[in-house]
């Protein structure tokens, strides 16, 4: 008898967990480390709300949002006009954090390599083939560069990181823009593809002469060496939380109302050039009232307390102006 009462009690406890407000989202992989931290922290503060997030990729997130199988989407690139037109319920872009992309390389004996825009474009366009090329030497005076072949390594899986990096290359090189262009997967002029940041950085570590790109937070977490990049003002900068935030501060002044903006190659002496927002895509109409309240309270928490988690994970927090503008946009969710 006692055990059966205990069992009923357990069963009731179990059902009360199930009856908590569950919100499902899917999309971007680039902000996954901070999103999983946020959703966990938010659940601890609001035990009745559980946010499940699948980092399947921005494309999958947008597709699932369009199909209506998730409550919100997430994307590393702003939705295109065509994608917006396909939505049944209009969705809002909410920038959440900023991330940078850094060049990584394996050149025995060379530390603190500097990357100029011409050099990055030339290497990835397969125009610069050896490490002692004059363009590289010009950006790195006094560095003894070996005459070895350059091996370009890029992401094989579709990735927001690739989008940010190729978006930058498209801005600094007309030839890149007309050729490979920017997307989460592109037709690379040269090189080998590897899966994920782990695959890419593993290949670079193994292969002398290799060069690639990874998310700043990944290099930060793994304590990897990465190069500095020359920004639009001509200054060589290493990605840091501060230099990535500076890139967003410039963009904050001219932020469009729908937040669909690219901040690569941003103006400003202190702005790191390969940086981007990442977005949550929230439908404007949410029929289920408790779900709507839960999502809105998460957004408000994320824009205030959540931002404090950024620096520890290698992301840059949103500038104040952008936060204020987003708080206004929350009112559009019905």
Partner 1 sequence: MGDEIARLVTLAFGASVVLITVLLIWNLWGTSAASRAKFGFGFLWGTNWDPNANDFGAFPFIYGTVMTSIMALVISVPLGVGAAIFLAEMAPPGLSSACTFLVELLAAVPSVIYGLLAIFTVVPLMREYIEPALKGAFGYLPQFQGPMLGIGYLTAAVVLSIMTIPYIIAISREALLEVPRDQREAALALGATRWETTFKVVVPYARLGILGSIFLGLARALGETMAITMVIGNDPTLHASWFAPGYTIAAVIANEFAEATGKIYTGALVELGLVLFLVTIIINALARLLVLATTRKGTAKVV
Q: Which two tokens stand for residue 148?
A: 């070895």
Residue located via tokens 């978006």: 167
Task: Of 186, 123, 176, give the one whose Cα is nearest residue 149.
Answer: 123
Residue 59 within binding range of partner 1, rule CB under 8 A: yes
Which of 185/240 has CB closer to partner 1?
185
Residue 253 within binding range of partner 1, rule CB under 8 A: no
Residue 83 within binding range of partner 1, rule CB under 8 A: yes
Which of 83/173 has CB closer to partner 1?
83
Shortest Cβ 24–partner 1 spacing (Å): 17
Residue 56 within binding range of partner 1, rule CB under 8 A: yes
> Out of 34, 49, 51, 60, which residue is the one contacting partner 1 (CB under 8 A)?
60
Task: Please name the residues in contact with 189: beta carbons below 8 A apart, sequence gap of 6 or more.
Answer: 124, 125, 126, 179, 180
Helix residue spans in the chain (DSSP H): 2-18, 32-45, 58-67, 81-86, 117-124, 134-139, 160-172, 174-178, 196-206, 216-222, 241-253, 289-303, 310-313, 320-330
Shortest Cβ 196–partner 1 spacing (Å): 10
Q: Which of residues 163-182 bind partner 1 (CB under 8 A)?
A: 180-182
Which of 63/261 has CB closer to partner 1?
63
Shortest Cβ 27–partner 1 spacing (Å): 10
Residue 278 within binding range of partner 1, rule CB under 8 A: no
> Out of 31, 33, 57, 78, which residue is the one contacting partner 1 (CB under 8 A)?
57
> Looking at 154-162, 225-233, 278-286, 308-316, which segment touches partner 1 (CB under 8 A)?
154-162
Residue 156 within binding range of partner 1, rule CB under 8 A: yes
Which of 162/243 has CB closer to partner 1?
162
| Cβ atoms within 10 Å, residue 129 | 11
Shortest Cβ 181–partner 1 spacing (Å): 4
Q: How far apart are the first and last CA of the chain?
A: 49
> Out of 41, 133, 157, 309, which residue is the one contacting partner 1 (CB under 8 A)?
157
* CB of 62 closer than 8 Å to CB of 110: no
Task: Of 303, 312, 248, 320, give the one whose Cα is nearest residue 34.
Answer: 312
Which of 16/148 has CB closer to partner 1?
148
Q: Which two tokens stand for residue 39?
A: 């959703």
CB-count exposure of residue 80 (10 Å: 0-12, 13-18, 19+): exposed
Interface with partner 1 (CB under 8 A)? 56-60, 62-63, 80, 82-83, 149, 151, 156-160, 180-188, 191-195, 199, 202-203, 206-207
């Amino acid at each position: 008898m006692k055990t059966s009462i205990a069992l009923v009690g357990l069963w009731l406890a179990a059902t009360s967990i199930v009856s908590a407000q569950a919100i499902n989202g899917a999309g971007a992989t680039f902000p996954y480390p901070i999103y999983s931290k946020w959703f966990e922290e938010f659940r601890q503060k609001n035990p009745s709300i559980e946010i499940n997030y699948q980092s399947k990729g921005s494309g999958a997130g947008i597709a699932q949002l369009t199909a209506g199988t998730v409550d919100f989407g997430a994307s590393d690139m702003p939705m295109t006009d065509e994608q917006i037109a396909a939505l049944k319920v209009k969705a809002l872009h909410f920038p959440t954090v900023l991330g940078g992309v850094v060049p990584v390389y394996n050149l025995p004996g060379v530390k603190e390599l500097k990357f100029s825009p011409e050099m990055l474009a030339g290497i990835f366009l397969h125009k610069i083939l050896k490490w002692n090329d004059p363009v590289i030497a010009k950006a790195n005076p006094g560095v003894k560069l070996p005459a070895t072949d350059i091996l370009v390594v890029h992401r094989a899986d579709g990735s927001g990181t690739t989008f940010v990096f190729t978006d930058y290359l498209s801005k600094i090189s007309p030839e890149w823009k007309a050729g490979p262009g920017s997307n989460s997967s592109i037709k690379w002029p040269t090189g080998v593809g590897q899966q994920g940041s782990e695959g890419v950085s593993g290949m670079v570590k193994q292969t002398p002469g290799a060069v690639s790109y990874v998310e700043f937070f990944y290099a930060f977490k793994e304590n990897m060496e990465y190069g500095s990049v020359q920004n639009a003002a001509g200054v060589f900068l290493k990605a840091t939380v501060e230099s990535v935030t500076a890139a967003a501060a410039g963009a904050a002044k001219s932020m469009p109302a729908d937040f669909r903006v690219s901040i690569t190659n941003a103006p400003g002496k202190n702005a790191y050039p390969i940086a981007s927002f990442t977005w949550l895509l929230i439908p404007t109409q949410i029929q289920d009232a408790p779900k709507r309240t839960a999502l809105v309270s998460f957004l408000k928490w994320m824009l205030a307390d959540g931002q404090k988690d950024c620096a520890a994970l290698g992301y840059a927090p949103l500038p104040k102006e952008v936060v204020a503008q987003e708080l206004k946009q929350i009112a559009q969710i019905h």
